[in-house]
Amino acid sequence: MFKYEIESKSLTPKDVFECGQCFRWDENDDGSYTGVFKDCVLTVKKHGDKITFCGINKEKDFEKFKNDIIDYFDLNRDYETIKNKLSKIDDNLKKSVEYGSGIRILNQELFETIISFIISANNNIPRIKGIIKRISENYGEQIEFNGNIFYTFPTVEELSKASVEDLRKLGLGFRDKRVYDTCQMIKNKEIDLENLSKLDTKDLRIVMMKFPGVGPKVCDCILLFSTLKRFDVFPIDVWVRRVMNELYIHNPDENKVSKIQIQKLADEKYGDLQGLAQQYLFYWERSLNK
């Protein structure tokens, strides 16, 4: 088992893992979180400003383990400066940043993020997590950690072996065909994931929405929460519509607030940091109104 420690005011496990961006992390009794990313199993715990990462990777290589953590948690990015900049926009955003001050946007593997957010459509978080866990158990690789068996998320090659019927048995519902077709498109290089990072955000959206089940909201989640790392997107769901209406638009019927209206407001107020603003606002609204 490896151990790696840092000091950070801008990383709180609860904020990172409960803000809606990921589905493979579970809270432990002591407030730490254990999860799987890439080929690592990791437990993350915070004591004051000190963050401790304990875990293992398949290669049993500490330098790779450390570098994967730095990359996954985006530790080279100065979140204190970002939070200060966002907090100056208005008091509403300042309050949401203070509430979720430990949020960092993860660099999640692109294929896993695509499949996870296709599964997320019209779904709830416990069910999403259960489906992703079953996919990993059936098509990923085993890693043992602290006497327990965990599973990596499968590669394109591994998951593309699953038929629509296989996926249906795992509880995907109407998403089974979407996941199957997406795997085949990627496997056959109809869309080459390795070249997507070269595209600007507008062109990325066009390409990403060629995948079945990827509409504007799912697309923006993939762009924001994956290694594509586009902060100039603003995923809009019921929580985001609610908080933007409550804070800025003030329509008596929030269901009449259009996504176009919200997006225009986000562009004007938050600019190229709107993805981060969205996460602070989403986390704040959902946490206070559960």
pLDDT tens readout for residues 124-138: 999 999 999 999 999
User: Are 218 and 245 part of one and the same domain?
Assistant: no
Cα–Cα–Cα angle for 266, 267, 273, rounded to 5 degrees:
80
Domain count along the chain: 3
User: Are 127 and 154 part of one and the same domain?
Assistant: yes
Average pLDDT, integer, range 239-263 = 94
pLDDT over 80 at 186, yes or no: yes
pLDDT score, position 286: 83
How far apart, in Å, are the Cα atoms of 69 and each of 48, 57, 192?
19, 11, 26
- 156 vs 251: CA distance, rounded Å: 44
101 assigned to some structural domain: no
C-alpha dihedral (23, 28, 32, 37), degrees to nearest 10: -30
- 23 vs 26: CA distance, rounded Å: 8
Name the residue range of residue 23's domain: 2-76
Q: What is the pLDDT of residues 109-158, one digit of tens each?
A: 999 999 999 999 888 999 999 999 999 999 999 999 999 999 999 999 99
pLDDT over 90 at 287, yes or no: no
Q: What is the pLDDT of residues 192-245, one digit of tens each?
A: 999 999 999 999 999 999 999 999 999 999 999 999 999 999 999 999 999 999
| CATH number of the domain that residue 24 is part of | 3.30.310.260
User: Are 174 and 265 part of one and the same domain?
Assistant: no
User: Are 215 and 128 part of one and the same domain?
Assistant: yes
| CATH number of the domain that residue 202 is part of | 1.10.340.30
User: Are 160 and 218 part of one and the same domain?
Assistant: yes
